[in-house]
Amino acid sequence: MHLIHSEKCGVRRAMMLIGSKWKMVLIGCLKDGMQRYGELKRSIPDISEKMLIQELKDLVEAGLVEKTSYPEVPPRVEYRLTEKGQKAIPVWEMVERFGCDYL
């Protein structure tokens, strides 16, 4: 029996982390390695800058993504999955497969 009703339910905790509109998309962007902010923005043309920043910040705060800023001009900021974040890649693959199968 799964503890659907409790905080111990993995599904519910997971959905709080990766259930929003863009998080899985971002994880897909980062699954093969580091990406700069501008690359992410170009990869996802229909995300607003606000949401891109916000979702990245959420992922950083959740410990799934690591952000590195270089004090240069022009600025350079890199995002990459942490070890924890890489554990989400199998989820991404399953979600992707499901979405394709569904057609």
Partner DNA sequence: CAGGATCCGCGATGATACTG
Partner DNA sequence: CAGTATCATCGCGGATCCTG
Binding at 34: pick from its own copies, DNA, none (beta carbon under 5-8 Å per type): none
Looking at 14-22, 52-60, 69-77, which segment touches its own copies (CB under 8 A)?
14-22
Whole-number Å distance between alpha carbons of 31 and 24: 10
CB neighbour list of residue 35: distance below 8 Å, 6 or more residues apart: 29, 43, 78, 79, 80
Residue 65 engages its own copies in binding (rule: CB under 8 A): no
Q: Which residue has the tokens 């799964």?
A: 2
Q: Which of 17, 52, 60, 77 binds its own copies (CB under 8 A)?
A: 17
Q: Closer CB to its own copies, residue 76 or residue 87? A: 87
CB-CB contact of 41 with 47 (8 Å) = yes
Ordered DSSP codes for 91-103: HHHHHHHHHHHT-
Q: What does the binding site for its own copies look like in residue numbers (CB under 8 A)?
A: 2, 4-5, 9-15, 17-21, 24-25, 28-29, 43-46, 84, 87-88, 90-92, 94-103
